[in-house]
Structures are given as C-alpha cells and as structure tokens.
A and B are shown apart, each in its own frame.
Chain A
Amino acid sequence: MTSVLVKDVSLNFGAVEVLKSLNLDVTEGEFIVLLGPSGCGKSTLLNCIAGLLDVSAGQIFINGKNVTWEEPKDRGIGMVFQSYALYPQMSVEGNLSFGLKNAGLPKDEIARRIARAASILQIEPLLKRRPAALSGGQRQRVAIGRALVRDVDVFLFDEPLSNLDAKLRSELRVEIKRLHQKLGNTMIYVTHDQIEAMTLADRIAVMKGGLIQQLDAPQAIYGKPVNRFVAGFIGSPGMNFLEGRLEPRDGQPRFVADGLDIPLATYAFDAAGFRPGPAVFGMRPEHVGLNSGTGWPFSSATTVEVVEPMGSDTLVWARLASQNFTVRVSSERAPTVGDQIVIGFDPLRASLFDADTGVRL
C-alpha cells in the first residue's frame, strides 16, 4: 500500500527550478533515502512533503489523503532536523510534549506517549534536563523522540546525523535502523552520505538537478547505475572511468582505447543492445584484481604511480590507456610505487555509458 505519493511536484524559487515535475511512490513501512550532492533538491523535496514549503505544481498524498494544501501538523508526519532544533528554553519533557499540548491531548495521554518514546530511545534519565545540558547524540535522540511521540505514520529525517562525529554517527545509524525495524513506520531520510544511504535504505533515490536519477535498491544502484552521474556518486573510492569507443571485432563487441582492447562478451547490454560509437567504460576499484594470475577475461600490465593506504585496504593508482585507473587491494598485498603490476577484471561487472548522454548502455 502506498504511504507517500509525490505526483508531478515542481517547485520554483523565482526563475530557479528546484524540483522538476518529480514523482516518488513510497510503500508503507518502507525506508527511502534521498541521496544527492548539495543543491540537488533533496531537502527541498522533504520540506515539500512536510508542508514547510508550498509546491509550485503537482500533488502530495500521504496515506491516500491529498495533503497538498494541508498544514504540516495535519499531514501525519514527524520530522527530525540536522541541527536537532530542540527548543532551548524547554526541558526534554517540554520538548517532547510541546506538539502534543498544541494538539490539545489530555495530560495522561501525553505522559503515556512521552514515557513510551523515552523508553524506546532510552532517554528517561534526561527528561528533566535542558537541551544545553545534553551531548550531541542525546540531543538527536530527543529530536527523534519528538517525532516519535506524535504517533505518526511517516517519519521525515533531514540529514539527522550530519552534525555528529563519525563514531556517534555510526552508532545512531544502527539505532535508527533498529527503530525502523521495531516500529515499521514509513521513513524518508535525506542525506549526502552514501554509507548512510546504503546501510539504511530499502530503496535509494539518487537525486541531481531537481530530478530523481535512479530509484532502486542499494545493491542495484551500486551494481547497475543508470547513468554516469549515479555511477560516480555512489561508491568510495569512486568508479574508474575510461574514455574510448565501442567497436565490433571478430563478431564480438569490444571496448577500445589507446592500445587497450577489452572484450565485452560477458557484458549485459540494455534492451537496445550493442551499438558501436564513443563510450565510457566504468569499473569499480574493488572489482579489479591485482597480480592475481590469468583467470580474468581481461588483464593488462602497468606501473604503480601512487599508493594510498586507507587502513584495511590500500588504493593503488596506475594508468590504463594513459588514463587514471585505481585498484583497491587489501593492505597486506599492497605494492609500492614503481612496481610493475598486472591488473585484471571481468567486464561482467563493468558499466558502460554513452559518451555524450552518460546513459547506461
């Protein structure tokens, strides 16, 4: 059943088109992550769903009800903000009860809901404190609690972990995931952090320029990006891109570039099939083998130029067809600068893009 439906929503600020006739269909209980670089419109879209921004065109449905003209409080949503946005002059309890008091709920009901939220988030000892006396992680927990007490079907998160340090971020990330499994609410989560997106989402919507580029399960977005932008945005370190041409040779499709000749017999082309012409060959650094024998459909010798140790893994920079190419190897097997290496990969895991449009071939 559909929980949130965004239908042809556009938003203009003056002449600037922030959202361009955007569509999004979120199933009940689903965890959707809106992912994209800054300025892609992801937070704007969330604000539109929340009712904090009026759309220029289109409709928004929540639980089958057209809420396009409704006030935020009447939409059945709870929202968590990046800066926590706790009311500084109220205690934690006051923060949690503010919305419920505005809604005119009876006192015992308010107390019951606060107790429930506090026990779920383990913030009972903090109820009497002011936000100023809380740590960043505690504040964000209270902010989540404020959405929780509203007893709504849809939770909206606007980069809730971006203000926290790396360790706390990963802890709270797991907690949010647990919370979702426990409550089963629909959650829409905005972030620019792809790790958060990959770990939390049922489906990720990768956005750019006010449009959703790809909406799919994390693994599909990682493995089969629909265009060059998505391919480059997802994955860290980023995907290798080689410029070249697609050519048929001996009745087989091949990718050719400056002394490089990659057979593409195993590559799954899209419905239109193989067409010769300029193209971009994409390969993730972690899908490339280093000095690992001759088992690869393609391999090539080159020299190590730069080595970047990252702890468990090491990123090795080399050149392929006089273009930069990186290989991710485990640190024990890392070569040193100047070493002769052989890199190999299976074109099955490659992504080919049209050189002009960037669309996956």
Chain B
Amino acid sequence: MASPAVFASSAGVEPHGPRPRRAISRRNVIVYGTLLVVAIYYLLPLYVMVVTSLKGMPEIRLGNIFSPPVEITFEPWVKAWATACTGLNCDGLSRGFWNSVRITVPSVIISIAIASVNGYALANWRFKGSETFFAILIFGAFIPYQVMLYPIVIILREIGLYGSLWGLVIVHCIFGMPILTLLFRNYFTSVPEELFKAARVDGAGFWGIYLKIMLPMSLPIFVVALIIQITGIWNDFLFGVVYTRPDTYPMTVQLNNIVNSVQGVKEYNVNMAATLLTGLVPLVIYFISGKLFVRGIAAGAVKG
C-alpha cells in the first residue's frame, strides 16, 4: 500500500471529499459572459417591442426607442386587438385570431390523429410495400411548397373548398403528414417489440393495441407533435395567404396587412402590440407544453 502522503497536494492539504471549485475562474467568465451576451442579443428586440407598444405616438416620435415609457398606455393593444383596419374590415386582429384558432385546432387534431396511426401501422404492422410507402411519404417532405401551391388551388377549387377554412385545414393536414408520420414511426419503433407481441398473444387487435398499449405510452411524442403542429400552423403565412379570403385570413396574414399598410401614419405602437399578440399563442404553448414535455419524458423513461 502506498502511503497517503504520496497523494497530498502541493498546498499541503490532503485531498478529500468534493474537489474545490473556484467561483470566478477563466472558464466560468467565458461561459457565463457568452451566455449573457447572447441572451441580451435575443431579448433586446423583445424589450424594444414591449416598451414601444406601451408608449403613445408622441412619445415614440421622440426617438428614444430604448427608454422605458414615461406614461404607460394600453391603448395600442386595445386598438390592435379590436379596431385596427385591414382592408375593409376594421375589427382588428380579433377576427384573425379566431380564424387562426378555427384553422389550428382541427388541423392539429386531425393531422396528429392520422399521423400517429400511420406511424403505428408502419412501425408495428409491416405490410407488403410498407417500406416503399414510407419512402414515398418521406419524399413528400422534401418537395418545395411552391411546386404544389397552384395544383392545390385547382384541387380545392374543384372540390369547392377554395377560400374556406376547411380547405386550409386539409392543406395543413397534408403537409404535416410526412414529418409527423416519421416522428411517430420512429417513436413506435423504439417501443419494445415484445410488448406488441405480448398484446397480440393477449388477443388485442390493431386498434386495441393502439388505443390501450401504445397511446398511453406515447405522451411525450404526442406533446412534441403538438408543439410542432401548433406553432407551425399558427405561424404559417404562405398557405394562409394563398388559400383563404380576406374574411377568413389567419392572424399572421392579418398582422402583415396591418403592419405593411402603406396608407396613413405608421402606428409603431399598434404594430408592436399586434405582433406581440400574434406571437403570444406559440409562446404560451412553449411554456405550458415544455413542462408537460419534461414530465412526459420522465414518465416514459421508466423501463416497463
């Protein structure tokens, strides 16, 4: 046995327990300094937007965009929500908000429902040509949207859904399908195959296994799909502007019309408030589902 003295440090203190760490080391300064700079870089625009949206127009014209509002006013928020004009309508973003809700909710539910069953079937019920089917589906994810814009206009026109909310819902479901199916297939593939076999021996069929075994195990992946779909569909602009009419415009399109209007005075405070309002939904989703997401992963991490 070597004597413990051999291992004594140069400082004369025999090492024991946790290794001492200095609070201010070069490493810490670099790491936290970088984090701080990056955080400011991302938060500064948000700060400017919030501050500006709470100012009146006279105060904005002074030009001090970083200074906090002298007199806080919520009028721009109210105007952006209820009375801002887009084209002929002067009922603010509220119309677009409800349109977006009516587009997003069914799109998310339908696309996730179909894609999860797709993924489940592709992962667990291999059929002849299922790999080919999957390859074709994934290929769909790589086709540029622009190529399909006009053909879909024609299809929607022919089935009489062009310009309606349901037309847009269908479009969102179709375009969400490849990536969601991939997501679910990969998740269900990672579920132990023996679980699936055990359920078959226990007499559960296609839907029985899906509803009673697979669904309760897949909360994390459903939350992920939910985040992807809600933010993706809520933030969509291209499909919204192409496939809807002014009275069915989603919120993003309406926001664009408010902010980019060329007539009259540019009301920066209203624009900022409108932008924040539009971004609020994805933000809230991130906050809520982020927590759920972590909990879901923790629940799924326990091996069955």
Question: Could you list which residues of chain A lie within 8 angstroms of chain B, going by C-beta atoms?
Answer: 47, 50, 52, 71-73, 77-79, 81-89, 98-99, 102-103, 131-132, 146, 150, 158
- Which residues does chain B contribute within 8 Å of A81, judged by CB atoms? 194, 197-198
Give complex CA distance A83, B289 in Å: 31
One digit per residue, 1 when the CB lies within 8 angstroms of any chain A CB and 0 when it does not, for chain B 216-253 equals 11000000000000000000000000000000000000
Known: A85-B194, A85-B198; 4 extra A-B contacts, CB below 8 A, are A79-B197, A85-B304, A102-B204, A150-B202
Give complex CA distance A78, B194 in Å: 13
Decide: A99 and B202 in contact? CB cutoff 8 A: yes
- Which residues does chain B contribute within 8 Å of A72, judged by CB atoms? 197, 200-201, 203
Decide: B202 and A89 in contact? CB cutoff 8 A: no
Decide: A73 and B217 in contact? CB cutoff 8 A: no
A-B contact pairs, 10 of them (CB 8 A): A52-B197, A71-B203, A72-B200, A83-B192, A85-B197, A89-B216, A98-B204, A99-B202, A99-B203, A103-B203
Decide: A88 and B302 in contact? CB cutoff 8 A: yes
User: Shortest distance in angstroms between B300's beta carbon and chain A's nearest beta carbon?
Assistant: 8
- Which residues does chain A contribute within 8 Å of B157, judged by CB atoms? none
Decide: A77 and B201 in contact? CB cutoff 8 A: yes
Decide: A82 and B194 in contact? CB cutoff 8 A: yes
Give complex CA distance A132, B299 in Å: 10
Decide: A73 and B192 in contact? CB cutoff 8 A: no
Closest to A130 in B: B302
With contacts A84-B304, A85-B192, A88-B302 taken as known, whether A50 is within 8 angstroms of B216 at the C-beta atoms is no
Give complex CA distance A124, B199 in Å: 23
- Which residues does chain B contribute within 8 Å of A77, judged by CB atoms? 201
B195 interfacial by beta-carbon distance below 8 Å: yes
User: Shortest distance in angstroms between A44's beta carbon and chain B's nearest beta carbon?
Assistant: 13
Decide: A98 and B212 in contact? CB cutoff 8 A: yes
Question: Could you list which residues of chain B lie within 8 angstroms of chain A, going by C-beta atoms?
Answer: 192, 194-195, 197-204, 208, 212-213, 216-217, 302-304
Give complex CA distance A73, B202 in Å: 6
Closest to A82 in B: B194
- Which residues does chain B contribute within 8 Å of A86, judged by CB atoms? 198, 304
Decide: B208 and A87 in contact? CB cutoff 8 A: no
Decide: B202 and A132 in contact? CB cutoff 8 A: no
- Which residues does chain B contribute within 8 Å of A88, judged by CB atoms? 217, 302-304
User: Shortest distance in angstroms between B117's beta carbon and chain A's nearest beta carbon?
Assistant: 19
Q: Could you say which of B201, B213, B304 has the most chain A C-beta atoms within 10 Å of its C-beta?
A: B201
Give complex CA distance A62, B204 in Å: 21
With contacts A79-B197, A85-B194, A146-B198 taken as known, whether A102 is within 8 angstroms of B208 at the C-beta atoms is yes
Main secondary structure of the interface of B (DSSP, over half): helix
With contacts A84-B304, A86-B304, A89-B216 taken as known, whether A73 is within 8 angstroms of B203 at the C-beta atoms is yes
Give complex CA distance A86, B304 in Å: 6
**Top 4 A-B pairs ranked by shortest CB distance?**
A99-B202, A73-B203, A88-B304, A102-B203
- Which residues does chain B contribute within 8 Å of A99, judged by CB atoms? 201-203
Decide: B194 and A83 in contact? CB cutoff 8 A: yes
Give complex CA distance A132, B302 in Å: 6
- Which residues does chain A contribute within 8 Å of B198, judged by CB atoms? 79, 81, 85-87, 146
With contacts A77-B201, A79-B201 taken as known, whether A87 is within 8 angstroms of B213 at the C-beta atoms is yes
Give complex CA distance A86, B203 in Å: 15
User: Shortest distance in angstroms between B16's beta carbon and chain A's nearest beta carbon?
Assistant: 33
Give complex CA distance A163, B134 in Å: 34
- Which residues does chain A contribute within 8 Å of B208, judged by CB atoms? 102
Closest to B192 in A: A83
Residue in contact with A98 in the complex, picked from B197, B202, B216, B304, CB distance below 8 Å: B202
Closest to A98 in B: B202
Closest to B300 in A: A88
User: Shortest distance in angstroms between B177's beta carbon and chain A's nearest beta carbon?
Assistant: 27
Q: Could you say which of A87, A132, A158 has the most chain B C-beta atoms within 10 Å of its C-beta?
A: A87
Give complex CA distance A50, B201 in Å: 8
User: Shortest distance in angstroms between A91's beta carbon and chain B's nearest beta carbon?
Assistant: 12
Closest to B302 in A: A132
- Which residues does chain B contribute within 8 Å of A47, judged by CB atoms? 197
Q: Could you say which of B199, B202, B216 has the most chain A C-beta atoms within 10 Å of its C-beta?
A: B202
- Which residues does chain B contribute within 8 Å of A132, judged by CB atoms? 302-304
Decide: B302 and A52 in contact? CB cutoff 8 A: no
User: Shortest distance in angstroms between A159's beta carbon and chain B's nearest beta carbon?
Assistant: 10
Give complex CA distance A50, B203 in Å: 12
Decide: B197 and A146 in contact? CB cutoff 8 A: no
Give complex CA distance A103, B203 in Å: 7
- Which residues does chain B contribute within 8 Å of A83, judged by CB atoms? 192, 194-195, 304
User: Shortest distance in angstroms between A202's beta carbon and chain B's nearest beta carbon?
Assistant: 24
Decide: A87 and B194 in contact? CB cutoff 8 A: no
User: Shortest distance in angstroms between A238's beta carbon and chain B's nearest beta carbon?
Assistant: 31
- Which residues does chain B contribute within 8 Å of A50, judged by CB atoms? 197, 201
- Which residues does chain A contribute within 8 Å of B200, judged by CB atoms? 52, 71-73
- Which residues does chain B contribute within 8 Å of A52, judged by CB atoms? 197, 200-201
Give complex CA distance A77, B200 in Å: 11
- Which residues does chain B contribute within 8 Å of A150, judged by CB atoms? 202
Decide: B304 and A131 in contact? CB cutoff 8 A: yes
- Which residues does chain A contribute within 8 Å of B304, judged by CB atoms? 83-88, 131-132
Closest to A81 in B: B194
Give complex CA distance A47, B216 in Å: 26
Closest to B203 in A: A73
Closest to B208 in A: A102
Decide: B201 and A78 in contact? CB cutoff 8 A: yes
- Which residues does chain A contribute within 8 Å of B204, judged by CB atoms? 98, 102
